[in-house]
């Protein structure tokens, strides 16, 4: 059974709309992350959360807002969608964020297409 | 600034042979952690193996091993006795000691195993 669940697997949106990407992890981890993978680009770090608090934010746009309602949840709200936002968004988790030695485990991703 | 580079875009080898994938990195930090992940055709990202910069011994897990050459800032992944199911895209990644939240990925190497 998958330990990091991302919903939906595929998402199609129109330009200007708003979507929420869901992520739940059942690994008992305290740190969660969002990464983005665009066509022909390496995986890019977006956010990291530790104990439901934002620790790092590498996104240039405020249109991307992570939301953590529970310790094992980290959703990603994207507003005013643009075609350039089309990508696969991966949620990840690790036991603790404070240690760089921690290994990240990834969900299966949400593939977002903005028309 | 930290950077991870994988120059091999794709590699094709026969089944049951050994393959090496290259990765070089740039960092100013004396403490860092190096990871290899693979991304399957379904898009799933799977952690394979990790090397801590302060360890001289090359990490080995199953039929994966690393060739860590610290003076050359190089961390090669070696897969022995390759199997068809090893076909995937392999990513090298680095996490610096002070920058706990951010895992920097290389561009990936697509490995094809031929029967």
Q: How far apart are CA A74 and CA A96, in angstroms?
A: 15
- If pLDDT is split at 50, 70 and 90, which confidence band does B29 have? confident
| Mean pLDDT over the full length of chain B | 93
The residue whose two tokens read 């770090």 is A45
pLDDT score for B83: 96
pLDDT of residue B100: 59
**B100 or A58, which is more confident?**
A58
- The H-or-E segment that residue B52 falls in is strand B45-52
CB–CB of B103 and A99 under 8 A? no
Rounded to a whole number, what is the distance in Å from the CA of B13 to chain A's nearest CA? 23
Cβ-based contacts under 8 A for chains A and B: 67
Residue A88: alpha-carbon gap to chain centroid: 9
Partner-chain contact B43 A56, CB within 8 Å: no
Please write the tens of the pLDDT for every residue from B5-18: 999 999 999 999 99
As a whole number of angstroms, the distance between CA B13 and CA A58 comes to 38
Query: What pLDDT is attached to residue A102?
Result: 76
Q: What is the pLDDT of residue B3?
A: 92
* CA–CA min distance B54, chain A (Å): 11
What pLDDT is recorded for position A115? Answer: 96
Q: How would you label B4-33 residue by residue, b for 16+ Cβ within 10 Å and e otherwise?
A: bebebeeeebeeeeebebbbbbebeeeebb
- Asked if the C-beta of B36 comes within 8 angstroms of chain A's C-beta atoms, the answer is no
Per residue in B32-43, pLDDT tens?
Answer: 999 999 999 989
Per-residue pLDDT at B101 exceeds 70? no
CA distance A26 to A2: 9
Write out pLDDT tens, residues A23-79: 999 999 988 999 999 987 889 999 888 888 888 888 878 999 999 988 899 999 999
pLDDT higher at A102 or B78: B78
**B31 — pLDDT class (breaks 50, 70, 90):** confident
Least confident of A55-69, A76-90, B80-94: A55-69
Q: What is the pLDDT, as a whole number, of residue B17?
A: 97
């Amino acid at each position: 059974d998958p330990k990091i669940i991302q919903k939906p697997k595929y998402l199609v949106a129109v330009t200007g709309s708003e979507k929420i990407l869901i992520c739940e992890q059942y690994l008992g981890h305290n740190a969660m992350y969002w990464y983005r993978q665009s066509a022909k680009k390496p995986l890019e770090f977006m956010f990291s959360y530790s104990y439901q608090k934002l620790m790092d934010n590498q996104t240039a746009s405020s249109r991307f807002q992570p939301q953590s309602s529970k310790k094992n949840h980290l959703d990603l709200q994207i507003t005013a969608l643009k075609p350039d936002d089309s990508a696969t968004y991966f949620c990840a988790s690790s036991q603790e964020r404070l240690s760089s030695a921690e290994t990240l485990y990834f969900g299966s991703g949400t593939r977002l297409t903005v028309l | 600034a930290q950077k991870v580079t994988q120059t091999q875009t794709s590699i094709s080898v026969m089944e049951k042979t050994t393959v090496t994938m290259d990765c070089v990195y740039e960092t100013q930090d004396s403490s860092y952690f190096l990871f290899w992940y693979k991304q399957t055709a379904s898009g799933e990202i799977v952690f394979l193996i990790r090397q801590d910069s302060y360890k001289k011994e090359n990490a080995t897990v199953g039929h994966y091993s690393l060739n860590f050459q610290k003076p050359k800032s190089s961390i090669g992944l070696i897969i022995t006795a390759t199997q068809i199911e090893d076909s995937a895209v392999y990513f090298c990644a680095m996490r610096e000691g002070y920058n706990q939240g951010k895992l920097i990925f290389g561009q990936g190497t697509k490995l094809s195993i031929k029967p």
